[in-house]
Structure 1
């Protein structure tokens, strides 16, 4: 992952949410459910190889071509950030999956 700061901020936010859930519900099971949900959400949004998924959904089954670097290109240089492109199908898939997961998590947390 090129930007570790984003992962760190996400994990700190998850820890804060877990603390709030723990103080509110006094349930270790609900805190652990929050941890599991949060880690899966972070893993699904922050960690994927966006160069691969930043294409139309129909091309996800085909391999990604790697651009050839010039011979004098330094090996330590960070990759150039690619702009996040909006694809409606990908956005709908993410919204449905994360919306359903958030709903189930909230129903579990709010139950007595």
Structure 2
């Protein structure tokens, strides 16, 4: 249920940003680009299998087994979702930062 509410709020904010881009630029193409960039960004945060990616980066090339998921993870899904891993944070910051930079460059020109 928490993912549904997060998805709803992200989609509402995306609609607000699209409306602001449309009003400020008067360009339908820039609104469409904003929609696709926003949907890719939302999908990149909300859709990944966090049990798989919520491990050390060096373990990402190996498959996850039921034994890797502890009993606390099954009882309280999503409770450890935002566990801090520096390398994963750098990867996300680099990808999303570059995407936002390219989107902003397109919108402002």
Name the counterpart of 1:10. Answer: 10
Total equivalences in the alignment:
104
Larger Rg: 1
Query: Shift in Å at residue 47 of structure 1?
Result: 1.4
Equivalent residue, structure 1, for 2:29? 29
Cα deviation, 1:39-79, whole Å, max 9, x if unaligned, reads 000000111111111001100111111259xxxxxxxx986
Q: Which has the higher contact order (CA 8 A, sep 6+)?
A: 1
> Partners of 1:93 and 1:103 in 2: how far apart?
15
Aligned to 2:20: 20
In 2, distance between residues paired with 1:80 and 1:108?
Answer: 39
Q: 81, 96, 101: which is aligned to 1:103?
A: 101
Unaligned runs of 5+ in 2: none
Q: 2:51 aligned with 1:51, yes or no?
A: yes
CA contact (8 A) 1:37 1:105 kept: yes
TM-score w.r.t. the length of structure 1 is 0.84
- Distance between the aligned counterparts of 1:13 and 1:44, measured in 2? 16
Taking structure 2 as the reference length, the TM-score comes to 0.86
4+ long deviations beyond 2 Å: 77-82
Higher helix share: 2
